[in-house]
A = this chain, B = another copy of it.
């Protein structure tokens, strides 16, 4: 590959001048013709600055890590797309890693940071009790943005507007006439889980609807945990006429177990889930969801990571575009209003 001295030689100027012209140094006053010669020479040689050299010189890698608990998750693909687009438009590369690289005994992130290979980390904490030593990550002033999990604390955070999502789901059910509404929620030792449950309780109370503890579970967001939640709720006799499921993965488990238990959806129980995915049309019944702005979450996280003062802590909520209800066939009128 051509290097900067090749461009300088072809243009008949110094390497310094080439660097400054190409980087758009505003303090540079060079004649228009010189500038053009430099640009033409760079183009002719298809010059691209060597990343390692620039990185060594500037101490910036222009690379960030995206660390997620589960590449399989319903939310990952859209999140990653949003982050990737924003990163690409800024000339950043995104390195992919699963959260297990962060658990005790793995020095993956420590190495990546120590090697100065990444400038920052976008981190989605796993649901449930954390096995990640967050403190030890805050080494050497590393920029960290925690997404879709924490919403306060010593790290910058970006979260979805969970309250708006939950409200959209509940209001859809209320509009259909439901008054007995349960929640299949996330772990209460994770911030999203607490946030979504608190939002749910607030909306239900505000509407003057009954809150029944046996209609509320907090097993978590996986399909298996959704199954467990449905089993527990069904075992309690008086089951609600509708469920809000705080995550689509769990909702698939809820659907499967409802079917196994002979509960017809939506005839016996209506189900609405947070997060829309492309295959929601192929579940049975096709599941009604609330589409959350995951792509924007990813993009915002990249922006927060790179913009502004690295030492300032910000806590953002992505509230635009608003959650959108996607009505499919898992929600209907409540049982008692049928005949």
A66 to B112, CA, bound (A): 18
A61 to B114, CA, bound (A): 15
Chain A residues 26 to 53 lying within 8 A of chain B, measured CB to CB, are 46, 48-53
Q: A77 on the interface (CB 8 Å rule)?
A: yes
Q: A94 on the interface (CB 8 Å rule)?
A: yes
A71 to B91, CA, bound (A): 20
> Size of chain A's interface in residues, with CB distance under 8 A?
54
Kindly report which residue of chain B lies nearest to residue A254, judged by CB atoms. B282
User: What is the distance, in angstroms, from A259's C-beta to the closest C-beta of chain B?
Assistant: 8
Whether B255 pairs with A51 at a CB distance below 8 angstroms is no
Whether A96 pairs with B114 at a CB distance below 8 angstroms is no
A72 to B74, CA, bound (A): 9
A53 to B115, CA, bound (A): 9
Q: With A52-B52, A116-B1, A116-B52 given, is the CB distance from A88 to B101 under 8 Å?
A: yes
Q: A218 on the interface (CB 8 Å rule)?
A: no
Q: A172 on the interface (CB 8 Å rule)?
A: no
Q: A252 on the interface (CB 8 Å rule)?
A: yes
Chain A residues 71 to 93 lying within 8 A of chain B, measured CB to CB, are 71-72, 76-78, 80-81, 84, 88, 91, 93
CB neighbours of A55 from chain B (8 A): 51-52, 55
Give the residue of B81, B223, B255 whose beta carbon is less than 8 angstroms from that of A98.
B81
A279 to B98, CA, bound (A): 20
A281 to B282, CA, bound (A): 11
A22 to B48, CA, bound (A): 32
A101 to B80, CA, bound (A): 14
CB neighbours of A71 from chain B (8 A): 76-77, 80-81, 84
Whether B281 pairs with A115 at a CB distance below 8 angstroms is no
CB neighbours of A21 from chain B (8 A): none
Whether B98 pairs with A95 at a CB distance below 8 angstroms is no
User: What is the distance, in angstroms, from A275's C-beta to the closest C-beta of chain B?
Assistant: 13
CB neighbours of A98 from chain B (8 A): 81, 84
Chain A residues 98 to 128 lying within 8 A of chain B, measured CB to CB, are 98, 101, 108, 110-112, 114-117
Whether A72 pairs with B281 at a CB distance below 8 angstroms is no
CB neighbours of A249 from chain B (8 A): 279
Q: With A80-B71, A95-B94 given, is the CB distance from A111 to B278 under 8 Å?
A: no
Give the residue of B50, B256, B279 whose beta carbon is less than 8 angstroms from that of A281.
B256
Give the residue of B1, B81, B117, B253 whose beta carbon is less than 8 angstroms from that of A114.
B1
**A: which residues have CB within 8 A of B?**
1, 46, 48-53, 55-56, 61, 63, 66, 71-72, 76-78, 80-81, 84, 88, 91, 93-98, 101, 108, 110-112, 114-117, 140, 223, 249, 252-253, 255-256, 259, 278-279, 281-286
Taking A94-B95, A256-B281 as given, write out 6 further A-B residue pairs in contact, using a Cβ cutoff of 8 Å, ordered by the A residue number.
A46-B114, A48-B110, A48-B115, A50-B115, A53-B56, A56-B56
